[in-house]
Structure 1
Amino acid sequence: MLRFDPFSDFDALTRGLLSNQAGSNRSPRFMPMDLCKVDDHYLLTADLPGVDPGSVDVNVDNGTLTISAHRTARSEESVQWLANERFFGTYRRQLALGDGIDASAISATYENGVLSVTIPMAERAKPRKIEVAVSGDQKSIEPTTVEAG
C-alpha cells in the first residue's frame, strides 16, 4: 500500500511551529473533554482511548482537579509502519474548582476508553428556596368603596 500526501510534511511543520510543547511530534497534544451540569453535580467526560486503566490518575489539591493518564508506544522493532498517527505518552489536564464544590465526594470511572468524573456541588452551593416569614402584628387593609355624592 502506497500513501501519497503532499501536504503531510507541511502540516507537521506548521503543527511544530504553532505548538509550544517541546519533545517529539508523537506526544499527546490534548485530552478532549466535555463538562456539563446535571442536577446537583457536574459531569466531566474525557476521551482516553487505548490508555491503560492503571495509569489513569484523578486527584484534587488546593482547589485544582488534575487528570493524568499514559498511553504506551508500541515497542516492536520489526514493525514497518504504513501509518503512525496515534499519539502516545502522558496526557494531563487541570481544572480550577470553585468554592461551591464538595471535593471530598468527587468520584471517577473509566469505561471503554472514556473517563467520567462526577463533581458534586457542596450543600451550601445548591439552590434552595428561602421562605418569607410574615409577622403576626400586621393588620390587613380591606378595600373600601367611596360613594360620590
Structure 2
Amino acid sequence: MLRFDPFTELDTLTRGLLNGSQAGSPRVPRFMPMDLCKVDDHYLLTADLPGVDPGSIDVDVDNGTLTLSAQRTARSDDSVQWLSGERFFGTYRRQLSLGDNIDAAGITASYENGVLTVTIPVAERAKPRKIEVAHSDTPRSIEAESAS
C-alpha cells in the first residue's frame, strides 16, 4: 500500500533539523522524560523508558550525581521492509545533582511496565525534628539580703 503525502518530506526534514539527527542514526533518543516529587521523607523519581531492556538499566551515584542510563536496541532483522519507523533506539542518559541532605546509600530503583522508579531517601540529619526545651519545674525563691 502506498500513500502520497506532500508534507512527509518537509516533516522528515524538520524533525531531522530539530532533533539534530545524523544521517547514520535518524532515531536517536532525545531525552528521558521524568517526574520528581517529594513524598514524606523521600524523593520519588519516575522516568518513562518503554521498550528498554531491563538488564541495560543502570543507576549510579558518584560524588553527589545520580546518573540514569538505559539502552533500547534497534530491530536487526534485515529482511524487514520498513513502512514507518518513529520509535527511538539507542542510549538514554540523564544526570541529576543530589544535595547534601540525601542518603545516597539508601537509594533504591525498580523497573515495571516501562517505568523506572527511583526512591531517594532524605538523610536522617536533614529530616525536620522537634527540639525539646529544657525547663525546671522547681520554683526558686529569691531572698533579699539585709543591710547591716
Match of 1:64 in 2: 65
Q: 1:20: how far off?
A: 5.1
Query: For residues 6 and 134 of structure 2, what CA distance do their matches in structure 1 show?
Result: 75
Taking the TM superposition and a 5 Å limit, the aligned residue runs for 1:69-84 are 69-84=70-85
Q: 1:40: how far off?
A: 0.4
Distance 1:126-1:7 versus aligned 2 partners, 3 A rule:
farther
State the secondary structure of the residue aligned to 1:132. coil
State the secondary structure of the residue aligned to 1:10. helix
Q: Give 5+ residue unaligned stretches, structure 1.
A: 140-149
Q: Give 5+ residue unaligned stretches, structure 2.
A: 141-148
1:76 is matched by which residue type in structure 2? D
Query: For residues 125 and 63 of structure 2, what CA distance do their matches in structure 1 show?
Result: 19
When normalised by structure 1's length, the TM-score is 0.82
Query: For residues 20 and 83 of structure 1, what CA distance do their matches in structure 2 show?
Result: 20
State the secondary structure of the residue aligned to 1:99. coil
Query: For residues 110 and 89 of structure 1, what CA distance do their matches in structure 2 show?
Result: 18
Taking the TM superposition and a 5 Å limit, the aligned residue runs for 1:47-126 are 47-126=48-127
When normalised by structure 2's length, the TM-score is 0.83
Query: For residues 20 and 82 of structure 2, what CA distance do their matches in structure 1 show?
Result: 27
Distance 1:77-1:40 versus aligned 2 partners, 3 A rule:
same
Query: For residues 34 and 4 of structure 1, what CA distance do their matches in structure 2 show?
Result: 39
Q: Over aligned residue pairs, what C-alpha RMSD do you find?
A: 2.2
State the secondary structure of the residue aligned to 1:115. strand
Q: Percent identity?
A: 78
Q: 1:82: how far off?
A: 1.7
State the secondary structure of the residue aligned to 1:27. coil
Query: For residues 138 and 19 of structure 1, what CA distance do their matches in structure 2 show?
Result: 76
Question: 2:21–2:28: 8 Å Cα contact kept in structure 1?
Answer: no
Q: 1:136: how far off?
A: 5.7
Count matched residues: 139
Question: 2:37–2:44: 8 Å Cα contact kept in structure 1?
Answer: yes
